[in-house]
C-alpha cells in the first residue's frame, strides 16, 4: 500500500525527513510546505540535497497543501519560538482530516497531565472532527526516551528508577534560535534564558517522564525540575556563533517524575559546547555525545546508545534518527484511531533494508 504524504518544512530535521520520504518504498511525496519565498517553487529533491529533480515543487501556500488531501503530513517545523502558531497549524491539518507525524512540540509526545485543557482540547476536538491521528515523537531523539527504556523494563523484576540521558556536545548544532535565544548559550550566565524560566523544562519534557510512568503503571505525585550551568573559561566559536569568555557554555538539567519524595522517572540532559567543560558531569560513551538509559532495580541496566553517520557527526546522526522515526511511523499512524496517539499506542516501528548496498 502507498501513502501520500506532505513534508511540512525543510529545516534541519525536515530536509532529512524529505530524503527519507523520497526513498521510502511505501510513501509517495504529494507536496512540500515551506515558510519562505526563497524555497517556494524549488523542486523537493533539491531541497533534500539530492542532485536530480523529483517533479514535486515546494509551496508556501498552506491552503494548497491541505487541498492535496494527503494521507499524512510529516510535520518538522520549528515550534519552540512559535508555539501558538505551530499548535494552530496542527489543529488546521487535523481538522482537514489529515493524519500527522511530528518531531515537535515535544510536550505532545505524551500531553496528558502536562498540558492544560484549553491547549489540549482544541487539538483533540480537531482530530476527532477530522477523523485524524497525531503522533509526536520528540527531538531527543524521542525513541531514546520511550522505546528503549520501556523495552528494557519488560525484562525487570523490580524497577526503582528509569533515567534517560542525553550527553552531547552541541558545538556543531547550527541553529542559533535554539542555541542562543532558547538555551542561552553565549549569553551572560546570570541571565535566565527562555528554557530555564520556571516551569518551562517541566512543560517541555514533562511528557517524557509522564509517558514512562504510564508505561510502568505508575501514578506520579509531581514533576520537578533542576538545572545548573557553567561559564566559558575563555572565548571560542561554535557553528552558530561566538561564545564570549564567562558566558554560558555548559548546561545540565533534570526533569523528575516523583512518587512522594522519590524520583522514579527522570529525563536528564548534559549539554556542553566543548568536551573539557564541567568534567565532573556525566561523560558520553563516545566522543561528541551519546544517549544513555539507566534502570535501577532488579536487574540494573546501563544502556549506551552511540549515534554515528557517514554523512556527518553525532548531531547529524541524531537529526536523521529523529526524522526517520516519524517517517517510518506514517503507516501505523494512518491506521491508528483518531486523536493523539503515543508510543504506548503504536506497534513496533521498523525501517526498511536497502535494496542495494551503498557505494
Cα 92 to Cα 49: distance, rounded to the nearest angstrom: 29
Are the C-beta atoms of 170 and 12 separated by less than 8 Å? no
| Alpha helix ranges (H) inside the chain | 14-23, 44-47, 62-67, 83-95, 117-130, 147-153, 176, 200-216, 314-328, 330-335
pLDDT at 355: 57
Q: How many angstroms from the chain centroid is the CA of residue 211?
A: 15
Give me the pLDDT at residue 190, please.
Answer: 94
- Given a contact cutoff of 8 angstroms between Cβ atoms, the answer to whether 32 and 44 are in contact is yes
**How distant, in Å, are the alpha carbons of 121, 202, 206 from that of 117?**
5, 16, 16
Radius of gyration of the chain (CA): 20
Buried b / exposed e across 234-266, counting CB within 10 Å, b at 16+?
eeeebebeebeeebbbbbbbbbbbbeeeebbbb
Give dist(CA 105, CA 264) in Å, integer.
24
Cell of 17: 525527513
Q: Is 295 helix (H, G, I), strand (E, B) or coil?
A: strand
Bridge-based pairing of strands 133-136 and 58-59 is unpaired
Query: Is the distance from CB of 74 to CB of 6 less than 8 angstroms?
Result: yes
Pairing of strands 158-169, 222-231: unpaired
Helix (H) / strand (E) containing 298: strand 289-298
What is the full per-residue pLDDT of the chain (359 aa) written as tens digits? 799 999 999 999 999 999 999 999 999 999 999 998 999 999 999 999 999 999 999 999 999 999 999 999 999 998 888 889 999 999 999 999 999 999 999 999 999 999 899 999 999 999 999 999 999 997 777 889 999 999 999 999 999 999 999 999 999 989 999 999 999 999 999 999 999 999 999 998 999 999 999 999 999 999 999 999 999 999 999 999 999 999 999 999 999 999 999 999 999 999 999 999 999 999 999 999 999 999 999 999 999 999 999 998 988 999 999 999 999 999 999 999 999 999 999 999 999 887 555 55
Residue 140 confidence (pLDDT): 76
Length of the chain, in residues: 359
Neighbours of 354 (CB within 10 A): 8
Q: Provide the CB-side half-sphere exposure for 308 (13 A, CA).
A: 6
Angle separating helix axes 83-95 and 117-130, nearest 10 degrees? 20
**What H or E segment, with its residue span, contains residue 7?**
strand 3-8
CATH number of 142-311: 3.30.360
275: DSSP letter: T
User: What is the pLDDT at residue 356?
Assistant: 55
Spatial distance between the Cα atoms of 224 and 254, rounded to a whole number of angstroms: 8
Say if residue 87 is preceded by a cis peptide, omega within 30 of 0: no
352, three cell numbers = 526498511
**Cell representation of residue 290:** 551519546
Question: Which residue is listed with cell 514533562?
Answer: 206
Q: Where are the domains of the chain?
A: 3-137+329-341, 142-311
105 prior amide bond cis, ω within 30: yes
Q: How crowded is residue 197: how many other Cβ atoms within 10 Å of its Cβ? A: 10
pLDDT at 359: 52
* pLDDT score for 358: 52
The closest of 100, 77, 5, 58 to 339, measured between CA atoms, is 100
Which CATH number describes the domain made up of 3-137+329-341?
3.40.50.720
Residue pair 119/86 in contact (Cβ under 8 Å)? The answer is no
Return the C-alpha cell found at 250.
Answer: 555548559
Residue 100: count of CB within 10 angstroms of its CB = 26
Closest to 163 measured CA to CA, from 80, 249, 270:
270
pLDDT for 141 equals 76
DSSP state of 307: -
Amino acid at each position: 500500500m502507498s501513502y501520500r504524504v506532505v513534508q511540512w518544512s525543510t529545516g534541519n530535521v525536515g530536509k532529512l525527513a524529505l530524503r527519507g520520504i523520497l526513498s521510502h518504498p511505501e510513501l509517495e511525496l504529494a507536496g512540500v510546505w515551506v515558510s519562505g519565498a526563497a524555497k517556494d517553487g524549488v523542486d523537493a529533491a533539491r531541497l533534500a540535497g539530492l542532485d536530480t529533480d523529483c517533479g514535486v515543487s515546494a509551496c508556501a501556500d498552506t491552503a494548497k497543501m491541505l487541498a492535496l488531501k494527503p494521507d499524512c503530513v510529516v510535520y518538522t517545523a520549528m515550534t519552540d519560538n512559535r508555539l501558538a502558531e505551530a499548535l494552530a497549524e496542527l489543529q488546521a491539518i487535523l481538522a482537514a482530516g489529515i493524519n500527522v507525524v511530528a518531531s515537535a512540540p515535544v510536550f505532545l509526545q505524551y500531553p496528558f497531565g502536562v498540558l492544560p485543557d484549553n491547549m489540549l482540547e482544541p487539538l483533540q476536538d480537531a482530530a476527532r472532527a477530522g477523523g485524524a491521528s497525531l503522533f509526536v515523537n520528540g527531538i531527543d531523539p524521542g525513541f531514546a526516551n520511550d522505546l528503549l527504556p520501556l523495552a528494557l523494563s519488560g525484562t525487570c523484576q523490580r524497577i526503582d528508577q528509569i533515567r534517560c540521558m542525553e550527553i552531547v556536545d552541541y558545538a556543531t548544532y547550527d541553529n542559533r534560535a535554539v542555541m542562543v535565544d532558547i538555551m542561552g548559550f553565549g549569553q551572560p550566565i546570570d541571565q535566565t534564558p527562555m528554557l530555564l524560566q520556571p516551569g518551562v523544562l517541566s512543560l517541555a519534557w514533562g511528557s517524557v517522564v509522564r509517558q514512562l510512568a504510564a508505561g510502568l503503571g505508575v501514578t506520579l505525585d509531581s514533576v520537578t525540575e533542576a538545572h545548573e550551568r557553567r561559564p566559558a573559561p575563555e572565548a571560542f566559536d561554535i557553528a552558530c556563533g561566538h561564545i564570549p569568555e564567562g558566558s554560558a557554555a555548559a548546561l545540565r538539567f533534570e526533569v523528575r517524575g516523583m512518587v512522594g519524595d522519590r524520583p522514579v522517572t527522570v529525563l536528564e540532559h548534559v549539554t556542553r559546547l566543548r568536551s573539557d567543560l564541567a568534567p565532573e558531569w556525566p561523560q558520553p560513551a563516545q566522543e561528541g555525545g551519546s544517549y544513555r538509559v539507566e534502570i535501577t532495580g532488579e536487574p540494573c541496566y546501563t544502556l549506551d546508545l552511540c549515534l554515528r553517520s557517514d554523512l556527518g557527526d553525532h548531531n547529524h546522526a541524531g537529526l536523521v534518527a529523529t526524522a526517520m522515526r516519524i517517517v517510518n511511523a506514517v503507516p501505523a499512524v494512518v491506521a491508528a484511531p483518531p486523536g493523539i496517539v503515543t508510543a504506548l499506542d503504536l506497534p513496533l516501528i521498523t525501517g526498511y533494508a536497502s535494496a542495494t548496498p551503498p557505494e
